[in-house]
Amino acid sequence: MRIASIVGTRPQFIKLAPVSVALRTQHEEVVIHTGQHYDYHMSELFFEELALPAPHYHLEIGSGSHGAQTGRMLEAIERVLMEERPDRVVVFGDTNSTLAGALAATKLHIPLAHVEAGLRSFNRSMPEEINRVATDHLSQHLFCPTETARQHLQHEGITCGVEVVGDVMYDILLQMQPGITAHTYTCLDTFKVKPGHYMLVTMHRAANTDNPKAMRSIARALNRLEMPILFPVHPRTRARMEQYGIAWKSHVHLSEPIGYLDMLTLESAAYRVLTDSGGVQKEAFLLGTPCVTLREETEWPETVSAGWNVLVGTDEKSIIEATGLPTPEAPQKQPFGTGDAAIRIARRL
Ligand code: UD1
Ligand code: UDP
């Protein structure tokens, strides 16, 4: 079977890695990179680190407003799909690249598979929520990472083609685990931090970066925390910080976005992770580091009910208080599968 995998952003390259390996053992795979992310540290670095073959098509769409960016992608993806005529299209997660891929495939009557189906924040002001709801309703194969995700689909009347396979990000994290252990000493030395004596921060959600009040409040909290802070900065966030003229105290160390192994290693050895990223919340949980989420809701409620993730939004005082909460008990069970999600996806397709 010929399968076209469509990706475009940092977390999608990571999700693609295990899926692509599994697909290629049984199928012919064509990888389409929309070019939504294009900086070296947001794209190529992940292809190198994860030993992903260069994409067959690089559409070089770049940045833009939601409509312009998604529209350009739709047109370019359609052209490739008409040429390649794959038997299935696979899309990942909830970005504009996901939505464009889903629309292009559906209009050409190519069966669509959605990896990470059924996640919901129930916040329709998030672009990602629109993208994931629309994609789920267009898909014929819905690969859910968790049982909660399956229930969300059921509530929306989607039961056909749904399978809980586990989370492909757990698959790849398990594969990276020996590397994390081996890399810890060098990594912490490079970043000049000691295990358990620093916090790791990431932030890129539009609700935080595009709202000066929210970003200033988060910045005030970070500036008041009495521990070194490592903050690899997403390009969107960097631009807004400069625009708002945010000043940082000397314990807050900003950097370019970092590689995946460095990121996992720093998450693993941090005292606390503070983030608005979906993937980072879940990785912190899986690596046993308490997480403070700079949002009001999460697509990964299992991390909250297990006691390892606290949703604080952007309030300065709440952020500071949450970092001081005691470390919770180790979770009884792990809700993200058994590390074979990608294999199950390839087999089902
Ligand atoms: C996108 C996804 C989000 C995902 C995130 C992963 C959508 C709507 N959002 O958000 O769900 O969590 O990727 O990181 O698809 N930029 C650069 N260089 C790059 C990429 C982006 O400078 O390589 C800057 C541009 O100014 C751009 C801005 O970042 O306008 C936002 O990029 P975009 O891809 O539109 O959204 P993200 O915030 O990255
Ligand atoms: N990540 C990374 N380097 C960074 C920031 C994040 O490798 O500087 C990884 C992180 O470990 C996770 C993924 O990128 O696997 C999450 O992507 P992001 O936060 O951009 O998107 P989201 O998960 O919120 O959609």
Give pLDDT tens digits for 202-219. Answer: 999 999 999 999 999 999
Give me the pLDDT at residue 129, please: 98
Q: Which atom of ligand 2 is nearest to the CA of 256?
A: 8
Q: Which atom of ligand 1 is nearest to the CA of 38?
A: 23
Side by side, which strands form the sheet with 112-115?
57-58, 28-33, 2-7, 88-92, 112-115, 141-144, 162-164
- The answer for 85, left when phi > 0, alpha when psi is -120 to 50, beta otherwise, is left
Whole-number percent of the chain with pLDDT over 90? 98
Mean pLDDT of the chain: 97
Give me the pLDDT at residue 275, please: 98
Side by side, which strands form the sheet with 252-255?
252-255, 229-232, 199-202, 272-275, 291-293, 309-311
Sequence-ordered list of residues with C-beta below 8 angstroms from that of 56, at least 6 positions apart, any chain: 30, 31, 32
Mean pLDDT of 318-334: 93
Q: Are 257 and 41 in contact (CB under 8 A)?
A: yes
Q: Are 15 and 93 in contact (CB under 8 A)?
A: yes
Q: Cα–Cα distance between 4 and 19 in angstroms, integer?
A: 12
- Give the lowest-confidence range in 15-19, 176-180, 329-333: 329-333
Beta bridge partners of 185: none
Sequence-ordered list of residues with C-beta below 8 angstroms from that of 281, at least 6 positions apart, any chain: 273, 275, 291, 293, 298, 300, 303, 309
Minimal-distance CA residue to ligand 1 atom 17: 235
The finding on whether 289 has its CB within 6 A of some atom of ligand 1 is no
Q: Are 156 and 135 in contact (CB under 8 A)?
A: no
Place of tokens 């990594």: 187
Sequence-ordered list of residues with C-beta below 8 angstroms from that of 128, at least 6 positions apart, any chain: 93, 94, 95, 121
Q: Where are the beta strands (DSSP E) in the chain?
A: 2-7, 28-33, 57-58, 88-92, 112-115, 141-144, 162-164, 199-202, 229-232, 252-255, 272-275, 291-293, 309-311
Whole-number percent of the chain with pLDDT over 70? 100
Give me the pLDDT at residue 333, please: 84
Estimate the crossing angle of helix 278-287 against helix 168-190, to 10 degrees: 80
Question: Which domains are delineated in the chain?
Answer: 2-164 (3.40.50.2000), 173-323 (3.40.50.2000)
Q: Cα–Cα distance between 180 and 263 in angstroms, integer?
A: 9
The finding on whether 127 has its CB within 6 A of some atom of ligand 1 is yes
- pLDDT band at residue 334, thresholds of 50, 70 and 90? confident
- pLDDT band at residue 332, thresholds of 50, 70 and 90? confident
Q: Is the dihedral of CA 220, 326, 264, 283 positive or negative?
A: negative
- Residue 124 CA to ligand 2 center (angstroms) comes to 22
Is residue 303 within a helix (H) or strand (E), and if so which, with residue range? helix 301-305
Mean pLDDT of 301-318: 97
For the cut 90, the answer to whether the pLDDT of residue 198 exceeds it is yes
Q: pTM (2 decimals)?
A: 0.98
Give me the pLDDT at residue 175, please: 97
- pLDDT band at residue 130, thresholds of 50, 70 and 90? very high
The finding on whether 152 has its CB within 6 A of some atom of ligand 1 is no
- pLDDT band at residue 122, thresholds of 50, 70 and 90? very high
**How does DSSP assign 16-65, residue by residue?**
HHHHHHHHHHHSEEEEEE--SS-SGGGTHHHHHHTTPPPPSEE-------
- Residue 82 CA to ligand 2 center (angstroms) comes to 32
Residue 204 bears catalytic tag? yes
What 3-state DSSP class applies to 143?
strand
Alpha-carbon radius of gyration of the chain: 19
For the cut 90, the answer to whether the pLDDT of residue 7 exceeds it is yes
- pLDDT band at residue 331, thresholds of 50, 70 and 90? confident
The finding on whether 278 has its CB within 6 A of some atom of ligand 2 is yes
Angle at the Cα of 55 (from 281 to 28), degrees rounded to 5? 100
